[in-house]
Structure 1
Amino acid sequence: MCLMAFAWQVGDHPLTLLGNRDEFHARPTRAADFWTEEGLADLLAGKDLKAGGTWLGVTRSQRFAALTNIRAPGAAAAPRSRGCLALNYLAGAAAPGDYLQQLAAEAEQYGGFNLIVGDASELWYFNSLDQHAKQVGPGVYGLSNGNLDSGWPKQRALRDGLAAEPDGDPAALLELLADSRIYPDAQLPGTGIRLELERALSAAFIVGEEYGTRASTLLRLGRGGGLNFVERRYGPMGVMLGASNWEIS
């Protein structure tokens, strides 16, 4: 993913997470569903069919993971796909903190990334640049292609929108991810890309012929178990291709 906000231990749910996955439209992808691969029947997630991993997923036991890349123009290609970082946690049994502590030793094998992993009782965050695993306390947070709560305008707007209604109706919360406004130049981060591209990527919902928002997702955990997972899928120029909704008790 390239943008997310999550309310952790706020309101009536352990977790409410909103996220947009921005990607080239030509990259092969499987829509979110329960996986049929051996040993992964409890995993609900989309799948990157090029490298085999995922950007956001959850299991029936409320084990969850979500990933964003860190923008680093000109960086050399990494030997391993970042999508495996989320998948390996979801497919395993390690406690969230233990998983990230183990990950620190091999983080340099991946491109720059932010990763959150957790379950109904713990949420941990890892940024590959500082290589420090951090347990996250109750609150509402935003994350894009920089640091946690770095203040990028689209990140701040999504976080504040979720903070206003952390227990809000899923359809209304998903509309926060449909915000396609471009922010003024003075508010844009400086990430080393040309200004024209920085402007285009400043929108929460990116519309483009070759690259743009491919999926908008809401993940919500229930306090007594169960979850709600909603995915809306998009094609070139933001055309909606379909939607799926799972409510598991």
Structure 2
Amino acid sequence: MCIMAMAWNAHPRWRLILIGNRDELHARPAAPLARWEPPNHLIAGRDLLSGGTWLGVSEQGRAAIVTNLRGYGDPRPDRASRGALVTDLLAGREAVALEDFNPFNLILLDRNQAHFLTNRPAPLRTELTPGLYGLSNGTLDAPWPKTLALKSALLDWLMTEAVDPLTLFDALRLESLPHAGIAPDTPSDVPAEALISPIFIRNPAYGTRCSTIIAIDAQGHGTITERRFDPEGTQTGENSLPFAWPVAEK
């Protein structure tokens, strides 16, 4: 993923609302959102080049999302796949040797806790308190224009409708550049991406491949929905799968 906003235990109706866009080379093959076999408790898209995923949920009570981290140069092909790290965490396997991966930001959630992980400038794992968060390819909650815009859209939804999460797809399609915020201080590691980019990137080589919404209510009933797009920005498909988290322990 390249941008996301989430509300974690910040609304009486919703345990988690997470919305985000995956920006990637259109030539990189990927399978759409589906239930994996095995493990059948994992629901995610799949990167067909490296085999992992960028975002997913587990019916064992976990969710995870990863973004690349700018400012450390081109990714090294000899390093382990960041998508495989997401898959391992969703399967309940602990992350080890974070420094062995290319630079990343990662958010891991379970029934009771949320954590932020990164491996640059040094490996770090921090517990997140209930609240509203935004993440792109910089530090957590860096005030980049598009990150502020997506967080603002999510906050508006929580304060007004907070009924149908799928209406948040409108926020994920914004192609205008917001005026508020601070521009990234480093260029993207992807030459086709502008220094300041909108929430939705329409580009024939590198752009928004899919938008995803995860919604989990206070009782653990959840839905994950993915919309996919071609290089012209036209929607090419949508998958939506229900799931359930185990009841949180008191």
Return the letter of the residue paired with 2:210: A
Counterpart of 1:136 in structure 2 is 128
Counterpart of 1:68 in structure 2 is 67
1:17 equivalent to 2:9? Answer no
Question: Aligned match of 1:235 in 207, 230, 250?
Answer: 230
Counterpart of 2:247 in structure 1 is none
CA distance in 2, matches of 1:200, 1:242: 29
SS at match of 1:146: coil
Return the letter of the residue paired with 1:138: P
Return the letter of the residue paired with 1:52: G
Counterpart of 1:88 in structure 2 is 88
Counterpart of 2:150 in structure 1 is 158
CA contact (8 A) 2:68 2:137 kept: yes
In terms of mean alpha carbon deviation, does 69-78 or 140-149 score higher? Answer: 69-78
Structure 1 residue 182: deviation in Å? Answer: 2.8
Q: 1:90 to 1:76 in 2, by over 3 A?
A: closer
Q: How does 1:1-249 map to 2 (within 5 A)?
A: 1-11=1-11, 12-37=13-38, 40-72=39-71, 74-77=73-76, 78-92=78-92, 99=94, 102-103=95-96, 106-129=97-120, 130-166=122-158, 167-183=162-178, 187-193=182-188, 199=194, 202-248=197-243
In terms of mean alpha carbon deviation, does 125-134 or 207-216 score higher? Answer: 125-134
Return the letter of the residue paired with 1:122: Q
Q: 1:189 to 1:168 in 2, by over 3 A?
A: farther
Stretches of structure 1 lacking an aligned partner (at least 5 in a row): none
Stretches of structure 2 lacking an aligned partner (at least 5 in a row): 245-250
Return the letter of the residue paired with 1:35: W
SS at match of 2:84: helix
CA distance in 2, matches of 1:75, 1:123: 29
Q: 1:162 to 1:143 in 2, by over 3 A?
A: same
State the identity %: 37
Structure 1 residue 152: deviation in Å? Answer: 0.4
When normalised by structure 2's length, the TM-score is 0.88
CA contact (8 A) 2:187 2:194 kept: no
Cα distance per residue 1:71-105 (max 9 Å; x no partner): 2363351511110111001112x5xxxx3xx53xx
What is the root-mean-square deviation of aligned Cα atoms in Å?
2.2
Structure 1 residue 185: deviation in Å? Answer: 11
CA contact (8 A) 2:145 2:178 kept: yes
SS at match of 1:165: helix
Please state which structure has a larger fraction of its residues in helix. 1
SS at match of 1:10: coil
Structure 1 residue 199: deviation in Å? Answer: 3.8
Return the letter of the residue paired with 1:236: P
SS at match of 2:155: helix
Return the letter of the residue paired with 1:164: D
CA distance in 1, matches of 2:243, 2:125: 30
